[in-house]
Structure 1
Amino acid sequence: MLRYRAEFDAEVTFADGGDLNARRFQVDVPHADVTEAEITERLVDLLAPRPVERARLSGVRVFGEPHIPLQRPVSRTRFVELSHVIRDGLITYPGLPAPQLRQHLTRSESRDRYAPGTEFAIDRITMVGNTGTYVDSPFHRYADAADLAGLPLERLAEVPAVVVRAIGGPRGVTPETLAGVDVAGRAVLLHTGGDRHWATKDYVTDAPYLTREGAQDLVDRGAAVVGIDAVNLDDISAQARGERPAHSLLLAAGIPIVEHLTNLAVLPVHGARFTAVPPRIAGFGSFPVRAYATVPAQEPHDRAHSGGWQPGGHA
């Protein structure tokens, strides 16, 4: 694809005084057969707002050259999956029913409804809101608080994230674990390694959690959303006697909770952005999300020095 340019010498006199002499001046022109009058008009337009009294061109040459479009910057963002897959019969939390995936309309049944060669499948799922990787809205805990439809997007979409490495420490994440972590306005993602036991009986055994004091610390310092890669943000052992202080404190403060995350080992401590948005369902407290993070991609040599990453890996 060619673009055309005109090259010329010019003598220009301005109506408000002064003149301009140019050699081998170039302007873009629309086609190869452009007239000298049209080229002069282009020149006058370029010189505006100075008023041109007279313009004389000489040595006019029109030529074509390959048009190279401006290159858009190459996106250097990678996406990291942070959600578990929901399948028929999956047990997310002991005692809650597994989802049932069925077909409302099969492809073969649909053929009688559409033109020849056209078919569709319409699927049905029956499940509780606390299935797979899901978000808890304040309504999950408090009847008069915001439900899924009332969650502000800025709390759940493209939120700057900080990953708190909590593997190898005590089961409960405490303010000491969070000390020195900038949590204000951020998605605080607790990387406990609990997801390595996902969908097994060990998932609920001695599961990591956020302590009451840790939750209050996150409330006091203005966290935007809190997530964990374990069975529950609270301690669900018998010793906890059914208390849920982390849920109670965070949801009372309007801070959504995302549970059953995975793949947090892949994320850097700083620099990722976190998204976990549910459908806008009124009168519902919890629902599955497609949680993911966007991370500025490293060049290959940088990634090699950072230890690398593998999808689905754990620390």
Structure 2
Amino acid sequence: MTDHRASFDARITFGNGGDLAVHGFRVDLPGPDAAEDEIAALFVASLGLLMTDGVELDNVEIFAEPHKGTRGGPSDRAAQAAPAAGGALVELARPPADGGTYLVAPGGDLTGLPLTRTAELPAVVVRVAGAEAREIGVGALAAFDVGGRAVLLHTGALGGGRLTPEAASWLAGRGASLVGTDADGLDGFDGLDGVGGSAALDVLLAAGVPVVERLAGLDRLPPTGALFTAAPPLLEGVGRVPVRAFARVPEA
């Protein structure tokens, strides 16, 4: 099923005075035939605006594009319900011939990693593929509820965006259960933060958050609503192993 989004200019007037204008704003749509009043309602909901008196849209364009998880949009509504046990399984691991997918455990010991940190976790997919910035900062994550979730960074490339140490601290501080990426690693090619502090991987591991590297197929997951699993074997004294990562996607 193809996702659709809309781009538009808008002007909002408020019942208690004042107005707001935006240009090139985008929201997720439930389908390609969404009417302008539905798009306007999604726009207001996405910003959580109160006392809205009127919305005028211009230059509306509807196009096929994966949902980003617009607040109040179709993917967000699906996330409000508990993830269903049923649904299709989506392969997220790279084959051995392509280098595989790996889990890195805090403390360098897989026996200390509970299943509650690696199995059937509600997933949040943060799409940064195609972004001009090479770094993934707090601003790219702040709109998401990450507590108790697997936060999966969809960069679109093995040499994708680098998670900043500040963003890693933000994720750990808000209770993310696991952080995954489709890139070679969270810290780019050199594994360093370039500033002299702790790299993102080190920050997360120190906070007890496992990391999964070199994922595949994140474009096949909705922004929210899937259940993610990457459970490793119980190996004492081993901190990084290949895993079979997958997700269960709720039925539409």
Structure 1 counterpart of 2:245 = 291
Deviations 1:57-105 (A, max 9, x none): xxxxxxxxxxxxxxxxxx8510000000113xx5x4xxxxxxxxxxxxx
Q: Measure the CA separation in 2 of the matches of 1:152 and 1:286.
A: 15
Residues 296 and 236 of structure 1: is their aligned pair in 2 closer, same or farther, counting only changes over 3 Å? Answer: same
Residues 76 and 156 of structure 1: is their aligned pair in 2 closer, same or farther, counting only changes over 3 Å? Answer: closer
Structure 1 counterpart of 2:163 = 210
Deviations 1:187-237 (A, max 9, x none): 00001101xxxxxxxx44xx3221111101101111000000001111334
Gaps of at least 5 residues in structure 2 are 1-84
Q: Measure the CA separation in 1 of the matches of 2:113 and 2:175.
A: 16
Q: Which runs of structure 2 are paired with 1:1-315 in the superposition (5 Å)?
A: 76-87=86-97, 92=99, 132-140=100-108, 147-169=109-131, 170-194=133-157, 203-204=158-159, 207-237=160-190, 240=193, 245-298=199-252
Structure 2 residue identity aligned to 1:159: L
Task: Assess if the C-alpha contact under 8 Å between 1:228 and 1:260 holds in 2.
Answer: yes
Structure 2 residue identity aligned to 1:148: L
Q: Measure the CA separation in 2 of the matches of 1:239 and 1:136.
A: 17
Task: Assess if the C-alpha contact under 8 Å between 2:121 and 2:229 holds in 1.
Answer: yes
TM-score (norm 2): 0.62
TM-score (norm 1): 0.50
Residues 280 and 176 of structure 1: is their aligned pair in 2 closer, same or farther, counting only changes over 3 Å? Answer: same
Structure 2 residue identity aligned to 1:81: E
Q: Give the length in aligned residue pairs.
A: 166
Residues 154 and 239 of structure 1: is their aligned pair in 2 closer, same or farther, counting only changes over 3 Å? Answer: closer
Displacement over 3 Å in runs of 4+: 237-244
RMSD: 2.0
Structure 2 counterpart of 1:13 = none
Report the secondary structure of 2:248's partner residue: strand
Structure 1 residue identity aligned to 2:123: A
Deviation at 1:172, TM superposition (A): 1.2
Report the secondary structure of 2:96's partner residue: coil
State, as a whole percentage, how many aligned pairs show the same letter: 49
Report the secondary structure of 2:179's partner residue: strand
Bigger relative contact order (CA 8 A; separation at least 6): 2
Residues 239 and 154 of structure 1: is their aligned pair in 2 closer, same or farther, counting only changes over 3 Å? Answer: closer
Gaps of at least 5 residues in structure 1 are 1-74, 93-131, 141-146, 195-202, 299-315
Task: Assess if the C-alpha contact under 8 Å between 2:163 and 2:186 holds in 1.
Answer: yes
Structure 2 residue identity aligned to 1:256: P
Q: Measure the CA separation in 1 of the matches of 2:182 and 2:215.
A: 4
Deviations 1:22-47 (A, max 9, x none): xxxxxxxxxxxxxxxxxxxxxxxxxx
Deviation at 1:243, TM superposition (A): 6.8
